[in-house]
Structure 1
Amino acid sequence: MDVPPRMGTARNRAFLGAGLVIVSCLSVQASAALASTLFDRLGAPAVAGLRQLCAAFVLMVLVRPRVRGRTRREWAGLVVYGAAMAVMNVAFYCAVGLLPLGVAATLLFLGPFVVAVASARGWREALLPAAGLAGVVLVAKPVGTVEGAGIASGLLSAVALACYTVFAQHVGRASPGLEGLTLSVCISAMLLLPFSLPAAPGVNASGWGLVAVSGVVGVALAFTLDFQAVKMAGAKVVATLFSLDPVMGALVGAFALAEGLSAPVLVGMGLIVSAGAVATWRAQILQVPQAPTVTHRQGTY
């Protein structure tokens, strides 16, 4: 059977978006390893804020977004997107400090899981994020003592990641190129100034190097890839693909730290990869550009 041209193009965009999410997950894992070395000295919220500042500076220099002439609705979307970034980073790092990493990672994925299920068109599509969630549980191995504050932080990070996924699509429609992303990262950095500014004087030269690399790789690059992936594949597909993050963590641990991959972990990785692959393959109706009926300045997918 011949594939309609629009469907074929949409599917190609979905696969390209999936590739961007994979690189984003690798960027997040690599930057997290760098940033974690500063947690004990500066604290997770301060490190998150300093990373956002570095990323905002880099993006502002490269993108130079338009600030004037935006509607209140545009600014509302930018603020929510930026706030989601700030809350997601701080809440997840706090959850990791209070919970076993597997529990924190599983709670975090509940956010995109809800987004993917809510946007599913039938029970078959809902099975894909469910398989991804089951895979996350197997890979992350959520065992150990849990604390109420840690669970609350983990659930807050999940809500923030869900908003981050949805508003990446909203902001992408309202702003051309990377302008919306850049402004949202700046808003996120400003919201975290109460944490980053007091810590800045205590950062030495090597610490600033780690913060800069972590900010560029784990925020500027990773968020840009996520942003473009949502524009190409849609929030539903990307929400399912976010389950690849713990897979990347397991692979990094296996190859860089010689950590073994148990049978449950391998099964979980298989579930996640399969769910992501099927979700990408089934992507047919995506956010593709349509001919505008009136002249406007808003970007489209």
Structure 2
Amino acid sequence: MTLSRYSALIPFLAILASVTSLGLGTSWAKHTLFPLVGAQGTTAVRVGFSALLLLLFWRPWRWSLRRADARAVVLYGAALGAMNLCFYLALRTIPFGIAVAIEFAGPLTVALLSSRRPLDFAWVALAITGLGVLLPFGHNVSGLDPTGVAFAMAAAVFWASYIVFGKRASHLHAGHSVSLGLLAAAVVVVPVGVLHAGSALLSPTVLLVGLGVALISSAIPISLEMVALKRLPPQAFGIITSMEPAVAAILALILLDEYLSTVQWLAIAMIMAASMGSSVTAQRRQDPAVTA
């Protein structure tokens, strides 16, 4: 029983470590790489080095791959690459914590689309309210840049796709699917970064910091996420990551001096509460026999 309880914590701990590592790496990238190579170049070195690191570590050519699995991995990787690119483009003009909160609409949608209980509509309403407070539509009361918000929303769509396609490939060895997925992601984003930043990508500073960012914000978090995906359904995975907007906002406050208003913190809290509430609903639906 004790071992079983510890085993049940593995997905949660994996996602917590993933979220923290991702936040640290992204903050470092925004502070150091953005001024040198821009969002596109930052995405290129981050994803490119991540792919290289995991290809060398896991050597995925050792495993065979069926055509259907290859298709799932390519789609998973393409969604991952597009998600990273759109998210970093959003970070140019909106705070890290808010970008994550908006992007989080993707996994939250995955979670709620599988829900059927009347209570789930309350979580939807709460999430929409939180997003409505953040989004600069109408009278632009939030003061956020519309272009940055649009990129964050695009990242949300790709994040949802990443979860769905990642689950389809989750029966594969985690190192196999993640390394090949990042290779596909690199094929998507590296050309964009090269076109934007050119030879600046070859600067020793960019290469050294890019390698560190790749390790902290891509290679480690994605591997941990695949560990969690193998043990969780898509909706539960999306829900447990509800901690990410708050973690991102706190790290951005400490590392980037990005201060949020009380209303913006409230909006983030609404989105997280919707995710947590949906998590309870999903768990009860999956295991109705559990009462405590």
Length-normalised TM-score, structure 2: 0.79
Which runs of structure 2 are paired with 1:78-97 in the superposition (5 Å)? 78-97=73-92
- Alpha-carbon separation, structure 2, partners of 1:60 and 1:67: 11
Q: Shift in Å at residue 95 of structure 1?
A: 2.2
Tell me the residue number matched to 1:35.
Answer: 29
Structure holding more helix per residue? 2
Q: Deviations over 1:108-143 (max 9, x none)?
A: 122112101102242334545665666677799981
Name which of 151, 154, 157 aligns with 1:156.
154
| Cα 1:112–1:126 shift into 2, 3 Å | farther
Tell me the residue number matched to 1:25.
Answer: 19
Tell me the residue number matched to 1:221.
Answer: 220
Q: What residue identity is the alignment partner of 1:76?
A: R
Q: Is the 8 A contact 1:63 1:179 kept in 2?
A: yes
Q: Secondary structure of 1:172's partner?
A: coil
Name which of 168, 187, 191 aligns with 2:188.
191
Structure 1 residue runs without a partner (length 5+): 287-301
Q: Shift in Å at residue 240 of structure 1?
A: 1.7
Which runs of structure 2 are paired with 1:248-263 in the superposition (5 Å)? 248-255=247-254
Which runs of structure 2 are paired with 1:117-128 in the superposition (5 Å)? 117-125=112-120, 127-128=122-123
Tell me the residue number matched to 1:272.
Answer: 272
- Alpha-carbon separation, structure 2, partners of 1:140 and 1:18: 29
Q: Is the 8 A contact 1:136 1:243 kept in 2?
A: no
Q: Shift in Å at residue 34 of structure 1?
A: 1.4
| Cα 1:171–1:160 shift into 2, 3 Å | same
Q: Is the 8 A contact 1:113 1:239 kept in 2?
A: yes
- Alpha-carbon separation, structure 1, partners of 2:126 and 2:275: 6
Length-normalised TM-score, structure 1: 0.77
Work out whether 1:77 is the aligned partner of 2:67: no
Work out whether 1:207 is the aligned partner of 2:201: no
Tell me the residue number matched to 1:57.
Answer: 52
Identical positions, percent: 23
Q: What residue identity is the alignment partner of 1:26?
A: T
The answer to which of 258-267 and 52-61 deviates more is: 258-267
The answer to which of 33-42 and 191-200 deviates more is: 191-200
Work out whether 1:178 is the aligned partner of 2:188: no
Q: What residue identity is the alignment partner of 1:243?
A: S
Structure 2 residue runs without a partner (length 5+): 288-292
The answer to which of 236-245 and 95-104 deviates more is: 95-104
| Cα 1:21–1:133 shift into 2, 3 Å | farther
How many corresponding residue pairs?
A: 277
Q: What residue identity is the alignment partner of 2:283?
A: A
- Let me know the Cα RMSD of the aligned residues: 3.5
